[in-house]
Structures are given as structure tokens and as C-alpha cells.
Amino acid sequence: MRRNSDETARSDLPPAAGSPPPSNERERTLAGLANVAAMAFLAARAVPGGFVVALAGGIPLARAAERHGARAGYAAAGASLIETMAVMGPARMGIPVPHAASAPALGALERRGAALLTLAVVGAAIRFAYYIVTSAFYVLVLVGLEAYTGTYEALRETFAFLPAGDRAALFVTAAFLGVWSLGAGLIQAWALRRGLRHWPEAGVELEDRETAAIDRPGLADPQAVVGTGIVAIAITLATTEPIVLALVAGWLVSVWLIVRASARSLAGGLALAAPLAVSTLAFGLVGGLGGELSLRRAGRVALLVLIAVWLRSAAGADGLRAISLRAVRRLRRLSTLALAAHVLGASAGVGSYGDSARRLGRRMRSARKRPVPLLSAALGWIADEAAGLPRASGREEGAARRRSATALIVATASLGVLVSAALVVSLTA
């Protein structure tokens, strides 16, 4: 069943402050589809069967490309990722990105009547490129190539059939990522085709309504938070010198206190950082780097994750949306500016997200634990929730936030001076 494109998402929501209003029904339709996708990506990390829900989140983006072309589909995908990142932070984007990056391409191919295998191969290729880039960053920058290949050689003592050498380690990794991508591409192609062919007849609408506690406001000026966070991340990536990591850790404690970020955010950040830090430590120890260097690299990974979590907590969803919107506006060649402004003016915030995730959880638990019933449950949830996304309310920046901005800038400038002094001393020693 297919619905008419003129009966898709409508929204009376006002755009974010200073943003241009949607110029036509097509942009309002894409805004609605992007918001539905963002809500699904958010819910995917909170309910059983999260992978199926994330797959369902790609279906509205494929629908956008199927009805309006690949360019429009990627416009909606970009807007949905910005909204998702604003709500749950940059440290948790590993699941939504491959779905959002590949779904519009598959929707455009479905529009042309491509075969299912073609959809699977294209989706797998996009996923493979994403996995290669992220794996290369983790191996080359965070873990270290010597630790990774050393761990591979240690693994060969148990699995002697594996080929030997550093190049073989990278080749085996790439082969594994290729097989994984192909499997995920096949599943995604099947799910998207089924979702597009069973798209609900009811229109996807955004409702102009207020809700209580839509989102936690930012704790400091978002521009100062993002700027200082980027500086700290760059310093942390530059070296694993113990004195530098200690200074960054001290800076993180100070800025956490400056913005009065909650203990709950810290606990969530530690829970997110621990597996990555432990795996990095294991690679170093097994790969023969020694305890000291392995601990330094694990500590750096933990600091990077905690900085990203602090950034989300301090800036708030509205603040990250505002910064993202400002960045998008500078890309004047993109055709998504009005859409991004409209989508970022509608919030799938913490209040409505929690209630929506609980409703999805009930659907998923009541469905048979088979792919088709689970996907049908997720699609039914999308149809029900599409009309309930609230809009964000504007917030004025107070004197306390301006004082926090000044304190953040001073703390980060002090960090830069201390790091520079420490490096000079270590070089001249």
C-alpha cells in the first residue's frame, strides 16, 4: 500500500529562532519524515530489538528518497542525524549513522525499480565504507597499529590457519567488515522494501503542542561549550603523554563543576567509556605494548568519551541544535537549509522520548520474536508516534550562562598554556 505524496507529513510548527520557514509542502513532508526517523533512532537504544527499530528508522528516510529523490532523502537523513545527536550526544552515534547513510540510496534505487540484490549490494558498500573509516580511526589513532597487529599475531597462536603479517591482520579485518556489511545490507534491503510497500496510509504529521519537560536545558553557553570541547578533544588526540592526560582530566573535572553537570551524566559517561577503555587496554597488553603505554592509551579513550558526554550535558539539546544549524547555514551550496531549520525547531526531547520508548517497548515485547512481526511492530509504532513530536521552546541566555561561558574559556585557555609548558619542559629535559 502506498499513499499519495501530497498526503504525507504536514507541520504547523514554527521554525527555530531566526530560521527560514519551510517554503512548500515538500519541505514540510521531509521535515516530518526526518523527525520520525530521529525518534526511531533515539528509541533504538532503549528498547529490546534495537537493531530492528534502527532499521525501521531508516524507512522514513528511504521513503523521502523514493518519493522526492536521493537529494531530498539525504537532506532528511542529515536533519535526522542532527536531531538525534542533539538529544543523545555525539558519543552514541554509531548505530544511527550507517542506517541514515544508506537508507536514502536504497529508497532512490527502489524508486527506479532496482532488484533486491542491487539494493543489498549498494547498502553493503555504504556500510562497508563507514565501518572502514571508523575502524581505521580506532586502530590507527586510538589503539595503535602495533598493538592491533600484535594482538592479531597472538590470536594466530590459537587459530594457526590465519595468514601471518601486519598486512594480513588488516586484510582479515577488512574481510570481516565486508561480510558483516553484506549481511547487514541484505537485512536492510529486505526491511526497507517491506516497509516501503507497507507504508501506512495515514499521513505523518507534526503536532503543534507543548509538553512538560521536553528537554533538559543547556547548562552553559553552547558556543563556549562546543568550542572548548573541541580544543580539549584535539589536545587529547595529539598525545598520550601522562602529564597532558592528567591536565586534560583536571580540566574535565573543573568544567564539570563549572556547569554543574549531573552525577547521572557522569555515570552514563563512565558506563559508555569503560568498554572502550578496557578493549583498548586489552589490545595494548596482548599486543605487547606494556602496561604503561596501554594504560595511557586506555585513559585517553576514556577522556575522549567523557568529554563528548560532558559536551552534550553542558550544551543541551537546544544548544547543540543551534550550533549545528549555524554550521549548516554556512554550507550555502546545500539545499537543506530551510529543512534543517524547520526540523531543528521541532524537539523529540527527553520527556516525549521516554514515553514513546516505553510504548515501543510494550509493542516489541508483545510481538512474536521473529523478524517480520518485530518489524511490523516497529512500523506500527512509527505510524502511531508520527503525530506526537513536540516543538522546542526558545530559551533566553541568562547571566549565569554567560558567567559559565567566561569560566569555560578561562579554564580551557589555562589548559592550553599548561599543556604547552609541559611539552616544552619535556622536550628540553
Domain ranges within the chain, ordered by starting residue: 20-215+347-395, 217-331+397-429
Angle at which helices 145-156 and 263-286 pack, to 10 degrees?
A: 60
- Report which DSSP code applies to 7: G
Kind of pairing, strands 10-11 and 205-206? parallel
| Higher per-residue pLDDT: 305 or 261 | 305
pLDDT for the residue numbered 166: 86
Whole-angstrom CA distances from 137 to 38, 243, 295, 301 are: 26, 24, 19, 12
In this structure, what C-alpha cell is assigned to residue 415? 589548559
Per-residue pLDDT tens for 27-47?
A: 777 777 887 888 888 877 776
Q: Residue 13's pLDDT band (boundaries 50, 70, 90)?
A: very low
Q: Are 395 and 427 a contacting pair, CB within 8 Å?
A: no
Q: Residue 405's pLDDT band (boundaries 50, 70, 90)?
A: low
Map 329-365 to HEC letters: HHCCCCCCHHHHHHHHCECCCHHHHHHHHHHHHHHHH
In single-letter form, the type of residue at position 18 comes to: G
- The Cα–Cα gap between 367 and 7 comes to 29
pLDDT for the residue numbered 2: 40
Single out the residue of 391, 390, 379 nearest to residue 57, CA to CA: 379
Per-residue pLDDT tens for 87-113?
A: 787 877 888 899 999 999 999 999 999
Instruction: Give the residues across from 346 on adjacent strands.
Output: 391
Query: Cell 590457519 identifies what position?
Result: 161
| Higher per-residue pLDDT: 292 or 403 | 292
The kind and range of the H/E element at 206 are strand 205-206
In this structure, what C-alpha cell is assigned to residue 27? 519541505
- The Cα–Cα gap between 368 and 377 comes to 9
Per-residue pLDDT tens for 296-337?
A: 999 999 999 999 998 888 888 778 877 887 777 777 666 655
For residues 212-226, b (16+ Cβ closer than 10 Å) or e, as one string?
eebbeebbbbbebbb
Single out the residue of 218, 208, 210 nearest to residue 393, CA to CA: 210
Arithmetic mean of pLDDT, 198-205:
58
Q: Residue 75's pLDDT band (boundaries 50, 70, 90)?
A: confident
pLDDT for the residue numbered 256: 86
- The Cα–Cα gap between 387 and 12 comes to 12
- The Cα–Cα gap between 94 and 357 comes to 19
Question: In whole numbers, what is the pLDDT of the chain averaged over residues?
Answer: 77
Q: Strand, coil or helix: what is 392?
A: coil
pLDDT for the residue numbered 354: 63
pLDDT for the residue numbered 86: 80
**pLDDT surpassing 80 at residue 220:** no
In this structure, what C-alpha cell is assigned to residue 25? 509542502
pLDDT for the residue numbered 336: 57
pLDDT for the residue numbered 194: 86
What percent of the residues of the chain are helix, what percent strand, and what percent coil, each to the nearest 5? 75, 0, 25
Q: Strand, coil or helix: what is 374?
A: helix
Angle at which helices 166-197 and 145-156 pack, to 10 degrees?
A: 90
Q: Residue 165's pLDDT band (boundaries 50, 70, 90)?
A: confident
Whole-angstrom CA distances from 116 to 110, 120, 125 are: 9, 6, 14
| Higher per-residue pLDDT: 385 or 231 | 231
Q: Residue 342's pLDDT band (boundaries 50, 70, 90)?
A: low
What percentage of the chain has pLDDT greater than the value 70?
Answer: 72
Q: Are 157 and 137 a contacting pair, CB within 8 Å?
A: no
In this structure, what C-alpha cell is assigned to residue 313? 550535558
pLDDT for the residue numbered 399: 44
Q: Specify the pTM.
A: 0.80
- Contacting residues for 120 by C-beta, under 8 A, at least 6 apart: 182, 185, 186, 188, 189, 190
Q: Strand, coil or helix: what is 11?
A: strand
pLDDT for the residue numbered 428: 67
Single out the residue of 88, 137, 128, 13 nearest to residue 312, CA to CA: 88
Q: What are the start-end ranges of the H helices in 89-221? A: 96-111, 116-136, 145-156, 166-197
Arithmetic mean of pLDDT, 6-30:
48
Arithmetic mean of pLDDT, 159-178:
91
Q: Are 266 and 302 a contacting pair, CB within 8 Å?
A: no
- Contacting residues for 59 by C-beta, under 8 A, at least 6 apart: 37, 103, 191, 192, 195, 196, 199, 379, 382
